[in-house]
Every structure is written in structure tokens, then in C-alpha cells.
Structure 1
């Protein structure tokens, strides 16, 4: 099987990275609490809920956009169409961005800096272990069209 026919990932790692980051963040929080001023402000939970709302909305929009174009939603399946509309006009990875925003929002609502740090670690792992293989897959499937898309659209924001 050549790269054109192969799947970008063999396992959906990104959701596991973010779940693990959340669990580990709360475990560290139980042992080493965040600085006291971090969760005393009323702006943290309000901002957190705003991040959570944005994350859920972005994820729904991204999945709906992929489904409307009849292409793979799950990263273990081969892409049949290069989607560049909807949230994909602004970011090449709206679903992973949504996961990151969700975890940052959870950290703000719970008053846990550790969960927010976990979001950054999960985003880094996702970049190296999921996004790069997916991009290689898309480049092999769509060539110049994907290169042009990459030049006009950022990976995250």
C-alpha cells in the first residue's frame, strides 16, 4: 500500500492525549495546588465557560463541515476530499484546536493551572504525533492543492 492509499493514523491518539492531560492535571492539582490567586478571581470561571462554549461550537462546526463534504471525520480513515471551507478557512485543525480550548476552559472553571499546562502538552503531542502524519497524508493525497492551502491557512491559529 502506498502513502496515497494509507491512513493518516492507526489509532485516534489526540482524544487520549487530552483526556490524559486532564486526568494528570487534576492529579497534580490534588498534590500541588495552583497558586491561590489563580482561582480567586471571578473572571477565571466566566472565561472558562466562554472557552468551553467556543470549543464545543468549533468542534460541532468542524465535524459538520467534514460530514457535509462526505470526507473522513476520524483520523484513521483516508481523506476523500480536501476541506478548506467552514472553520478550515481559519485553521487547518479546528477539532484539535477545540480540544485545546476545551481543556483550557476546564482548567479555568476548575481553577487548575495544571490542567491548562496539560492542554499545552497535549497540543504539542498532537502536533508531533497526529497532525504531522495527517499533513503528510494530505500532501500525498492532494499535492499542490494542499501545499497552497497550507500557505494560506495556519496549523493552529
Structure 2
């Protein structure tokens, strides 16, 4: 388990927004289900404020071989790549288990993510032995026009 001692200010603000919205929805489970996408969007919106330093700090927790290429992909698809990084470095989750869940039932946001984000997810999936997910993502980016040299 990883312990986070201080969150960046933009994440604290985002968590505050999410907590406030969840508190509103607590007593209405039907509305809660309808608002999951709204809450996810608030979370993804914080990605635009993520700094390179924060990305590099989290990358220390991941088995990334080519950090330069990873950072370039983050620049090309910040929101989606940041969402992947945050999900896989969440101290409440085990990355291999989360990727196993994504392998069994790929999230819609990942399936429709920009090419660079799907390549990042595929490379990390390989590192955590989610090989079917990696193969599916690589096949999808190839079908969507990514040149082979990109992955």
C-alpha cells in the first residue's frame, strides 16, 4: 500500500467537488447511478491541471521503461493518460487487479481514449501481465491508424 502525504491543491479541490456531489446523491441511488459519468468527468477535468512534476512523481510507482515516450504521450493526451496514471497509482487499488478488471470489462472511456492513452494503457498492461488487454488495445490503435513505430 502506498501512502500519500500531501495532495496537490487541484486534486484537493476536485475531491471536494466530488465529495459534495456524492453527499447530494447519497439518498437517491437511482440518481446516483445516472450521475456516475458526471462525477467521472469532474475527475478527468482535473487532469488538465496536472503538472509534469506530478506525472514524474507518479511514474516512479509504475514499471515504465521509456519515460521520455511516456511523457510525450501524456503531452498528446493529458486527460486520458493522467486518468490511467492516477488509477494505477491509487493506493486503494492494486494495479494488476485493476488491469485485470479492465481486461475483463474494458471501461468505455479507455476504449474511446486517444491513441496515445491507449498505447500507454497497453504498455502498462503488459508490465502487469494483462496481456489480452494489451493485445486488444494495440490492435485497436493499429485499426484506428496509429503507425507501428508508435508502439
Normalised by the shorter chain, which TM-score bucket? under 0.3
Task: Between the two structures, name the one with larger relative contact order (CA 8 Å, sep ≥ 6).
Answer: 1
Q: Please identify the structure whose Cα radius of gyration is greater.
A: 1
TM-score (norm 2): 0.27
TM-score (norm 1): 0.26
